[in-house]
Structure 1
């Protein structure tokens, strides 16, 4: 069933054309992911399709009620049902002091409990922990209606989407399938464009060679052979005039063929980032950071209780855990040199935080990056170009940059500085997918020690070789990627569940026996003891069934 259609849409901000869309239709069974670089117009498109914003030209029609989930906007209603609140583990009344994850759950619960035929979602997993992301993913997967979503979470787009809309240079292009399908199609398009460009250059070169040979042949025919008298020379010149005219026509034909060749532009293939790090700052200690007997509390809220951890040289460690578990606290303890944490001699930490304190408003991008860079400017420009700061844009002032642009500059600055350990607190928030993948590529190439916090499952899987998880006031270390850690954790949970099931079966069998003896007691039975055991078994069963 058709739910959204639009035609001849145009939207500009100032002199810049953001969207120029001929037509677009979205049906009830569609799950659409919208992608594009920061500033491409993703949120603008979402707002126009949901009729929260009017286009400058064209029209949009919605056929059915729509819900909208955004990180920035407050919900339409300040309450949800008790049932919905229980499903999402939140309170039924909106509170501005709720965490980002709680606010997202509230908005999602509200959108799903209303009779919406379509849901628009703008970055619904930003500031949400992995458990919350899986909840959002599961609820969206069960939703029976159209879904139009902007997200930089590639795993989410893979699980949910049946098509991807890419915005580039104000135009849209629709790709069937999920995000991985889209990437594969983009790769084939790039390979095809490269092949066509090479064939175009090859044919142009061949035709130019043919034209040169014809001209050389014509030039040779014009020359009068030596030892030839004037009369003979005159006859020689008159003889091949017809042939010369033919050669000239041939030259013109070749010229026209060159002019009529379909011009193929050279595709822009971004260069790979190869971090040729200087050896001067390389550490030789086996353990870079070590914590023992960590205790931390804020009032009555306990964060760590006799916790311990070790971070080894050149490891890439992902620090994970639910929101509020103490990830940022642990990073701050390392940065501030807490007494319970030892750092190897010679460690120079580059720290990225969401506050972006390392940037100065009055500097340009290139000034800010080069201020602390130990690499030449041409390499710094390569990194910045991959992050979409090309040519004269590197002279833009920090003061005029968007949030996503500031994140990218901060990352480039930390990567190029004289550090031998990076600590990154949520480096992927506010990045478009293209920039996120550049950051991912650079960190995979980084051969020093890395500790980072991220809720982006694909990013953690692709970068980390160790997992540091905060659980029950303790810090658990796991050697291996996220997928292996989750598999082991799920297996452990399954084993625990199987053990509980066995205990429940035994208790139920014993309960049946006790009930039978209470119903028909023998002379040897102690009725009071059986009665106490009956209630004890009921309590134990209740506790086990909760688990």
Structure 2
């Protein structure tokens, strides 16, 4: 059964074309990812399918009525007094309306003492209908769904608008879980979710009995849920079976195949052009030599026939010419830090921190950050991850304990709220304030960060969240910090830009402390993990995210073990530096180099 069928739709935004000639079908039980760069129109396409926008051209067929569709909307607008539970209950409009009427009539009956017989009769009819629709069962299902999404009962009565981003997402997911519509349309369902909720969501989407059409930038989530990737571009869209990894593999094969076809065609084109030139020259020479001799003139004309045949072949080749895809602008960034030759960038010992009247987020907390550390901080929302980063960055003061920063440590802080940007400045002006910066250099740098031409005159406050995120990295670019403290650095970036950021962070020579819900980022960058838990002791794990995912994580490292692990990381960093160092000037120095390398390898092997 076809759930959605789209034919040749086109959409403009304020007169600017977003996409055109988009056609696709989604069948029952498919899980389809809508993929594309930021600004390509993914959310606009979803909103158009829901009837909230109109398309300039094309047709959309829906195989299901609106009541069978469920939507997760990042910009959901509901009344200021609607609680989380009330929003979930509104998923069954008739039951919700009957419940409200029963409550209203119940208050009226209390006021009249039950003397209004007409009101009593009406109450009985409404109550009977409520029972027929299993109203109490629906209430229980709504509460159960909120519980499954790890939302405590005290959150249920709070106004939806007052909830955090992660709580809002979970409330919407709870509403969909209760309703179980036949079609789910999800716009960034993984935003702001902690790992526990993310794992639950993956399982739910993978086993969902209906059809799922969604947008996401979480590559692991895509790999574990999508059956099809639908790539949206300004010129249309293409389908690729499987998840993100399989999509990337197919794109690479496609790119190599196109390159081979293009080279082959270019060689054929050169041969045809050479033949055309040669036959033209032969005709001219033979025509001049023939003079008025009819036989020779006829022979010369054979070259004209061959010339025309080659020209026809060239025309067919041009009509069916393989074009290489136009290069897409990509973020170009190399992060550098001030040279740091010390051992420890930062040490925290016996740290205590708590908000007023709330149990301590950090209690007797110890942490050492050394040169070469790439620490990923994991844990559920509310465990204190962002608080820890603010303590490290110096934005918060601990209530107790000691935090010692090396005098040469320079911290570069990236806040997920993006509220430390100069919102009133233009992009260009914010760079021209730097000493010695010229307009040409500023424009070049902004182009590397995907801000071309007239975009440089935009006010930072008017930029999208993804653009502000790139501006935040631009400020880190000039900070030359040797310790980056990054709170959700890739939240608003598309996948292509995330991968460029990962490459820059992986090659960054300084220390890193990262909080992120992007598991691909942890897998690519981190070599140490710190796991925070609400009400539990922090746990440290030395190794990659993939190793952490596959090993026993229950044991807590002692301070002595943490110190030993730090020394081990320093030795590994020293070994990497020696392995990539230049050849020494003398044989004796080369022998000393090899001796140190051998000793380091032996020591590292013994301690692992």
CA distance in 1, matches of 2:373, 2:440: 28
CA shift, 1:207, in A, is: 3.1
Q: Which residue of 1 aligns with 2:574?
A: none
Q: 2:270 is matched with which residue: 189, 202, 205? A: 205
CA shift, 1:455, in A, is: 0.8
CA distance in 1, matches of 2:440, 2:546: 37
CA distance in 1, matches of 2:530, 2:442: 31
**Between 391-400 and 34-43, the greater mean CA deviation after superposition:** 391-400
Q: Which residue of 1 aligns with 2:340?
A: 283
Q: Which residue of 2 aligns with 1:194?
A: 259
Superposed, 1:87-106 pairs within 5 Å as 87-90=148-151, 91=153, 92-93=156-157, 95-96=159-160, 97-106=162-171
Q: Taking structure 1 as reference, are residues 256 and 235 closer, same or farther at Cα in structure 2, changes over 3 Å only? A: closer
| Residue deviations 1:45-101 (CA, integer Å, cap 9, x gap) | 222223344434434424141111123215794245222222222234453322222
Q: Confirm or deny: 8 A CA contact 1:309 1:477 kept in the other structure.
A: no
CA distance in 2, matches of 1:235, 1:111: 89
Q: Which 5+ residue runs of structure 1 have no aligned equivalent?
A: 224-232, 494-547
Q: 1:86 is matched with which residue: 131, 135, 147? A: 147
Q: Confirm or deny: 8 A CA contact 1:307 1:473 kept in the other structure.
A: no
SS of aligned partner of 1:452: strand
Q: Which residue of 1 aligns with 2:550?
A: 487
Q: Confirm or deny: 8 A CA contact 1:152 1:433 kept in the other structure.
A: yes
User: Please, what TM-score do these two structures have when normalized by structure 1?
Assistant: 0.77
SS of aligned partner of 1:288: strand
Q: Confirm or deny: 8 A CA contact 1:194 1:266 kept in the other structure.
A: yes
Q: 1:145 is matched with which residue: 210, 213, 226? A: 210
| Residue deviations 1:395-416 (CA, integer Å, cap 9, x gap) | 5443442111121232233235
Q: Which residue of 2 aligns with 1:406?
A: 468
**Between 300-309 and 464-473, the greater mean CA deviation after superposition:** 464-473
CA distance in 2, matches of 1:373, 1:114: 59
CA distance in 1, matches of 2:48, 2:63: 11
Superposed, 1:488-527 pairs within 5 Å as 488-489=551-552
1:70 aligns with 2:73: yes
Q: Confirm or deny: 8 A CA contact 2:333 2:449 kept in the other structure.
A: no
Q: Confirm or deny: 8 A CA contact 1:387 1:408 kept in the other structure.
A: yes
1:129 aligns with 2:190: no
Q: 2:183 is matched with which residue: 115, 118, 130? A: 118
CA distance in 1, matches of 2:542, 2:514: 15
Q: Which residue of 1 aligns with 2:349?
A: 292
SS of aligned partner of 1:119: strand
Q: Confirm or deny: 8 A CA contact 2:376 2:529 kept in the other structure.
A: yes
CA distance in 2, matches of 1:345, 1:202: 62
User: Please, what TM-score do these two structures have when normalized by structure 2?
Assistant: 0.70
1:17 aligns with 2:17: yes
Q: 2:407 is matched with which residue: 345, 357, 364? A: 345
Q: Which residue of 2 aligns with 1:260?
A: 316
1:316 aligns with 2:377: no
CA distance in 2, matches of 1:245, 1:465: 76
Q: Taking structure 1 as reference, are residues 330 and 376 closer, same or farther at Cα in structure 2, changes over 3 Å only? A: farther
Superposed, 1:379-394 pairs within 5 Å as 388-390=450-452, 393-394=455-456
CA shift, 1:276, in A, is: 6.5
Q: Which residue of 2 aligns with 1:43?
A: 43
Q: Taking structure 1 as reference, are residues 8 and 264 closer, same or farther at Cα in structure 2, changes over 3 Å only? A: closer
Q: Confirm or deny: 8 A CA contact 2:374 2:526 kept in the other structure.
A: yes
SS of aligned partner of 2:34: strand
Q: Confirm or deny: 8 A CA contact 2:331 2:497 kept in the other structure.
A: no
SS of aligned partner of 1:265: coil
Q: Which residue of 2 aligns with 1:325?
A: 383
| Residue deviations 1:421-456 (CA, integer Å, cap 9, x gap) | 322110111112222122122222323222211011
Q: Taking structure 1 as reference, are residues 199 and 362 closer, same or farther at Cα in structure 2, changes over 3 Å only? A: farther
| Residue deviations 1:192-246 (CA, integer Å, cap 9, x gap) | 22222222322223333444555666787799xxxxxxxxx99899996556544
Q: Confirm or deny: 8 A CA contact 1:374 1:417 kept in the other structure.
A: no
CA shift, 1:277, in A, is: 6.6
SS of aligned partner of 1:298: coil
Q: Confirm or deny: 8 A CA contact 1:290 1:343 kept in the other structure.
A: yes
Q: Confirm or deny: 8 A CA contact 1:40 1:169 kept in the other structure.
A: yes
Q: Which 5+ residue runs of structure 2 have no aligned equivalent?
A: 90-141, 557-608
SS of aligned partner of 2:361: strand
Q: Which residue of 1 aligns with 2:541?
A: 478
Aligned residues: 483
Q: Taking structure 1 as reference, are residues 278 and 467 closer, same or farther at Cα in structure 2, changes over 3 Å only? A: closer
CA shift, 1:102, in A, is: 2.0
| Residue deviations 1:464-500 (CA, integer Å, cap 9, x gap) | 122122234644332211121122246779xxxxxxx
Q: Which residue of 2 aligns with 1:165?
A: 230
Q: Confirm or deny: 8 A CA contact 1:374 1:416 kept in the other structure.
A: no
Q: Confirm or deny: 8 A CA contact 1:19 1:45 kept in the other structure.
A: no
SS of aligned partner of 2:354: strand
SS of aligned partner of 2:387: helix
CA distance in 1, matches of 2:75, 2:516: 21
CA distance in 1, matches of 2:186, 2:290: 85
Q: Which residue of 2 aligns with 1:427?
A: 489
Structure 1 or 2, whichever has the larger Rg, is: 1
Q: Confirm or deny: 8 A CA contact 2:22 2:235 kept in the other structure.
A: no
| Residue deviations 1:281-318 (CA, integer Å, cap 9, x gap) | 22111221221111101113211111011122122221
Q: Confirm or deny: 8 A CA contact 1:122 1:149 kept in the other structure.
A: yes
CA distance in 2, matches of 1:21, 1:234: 57
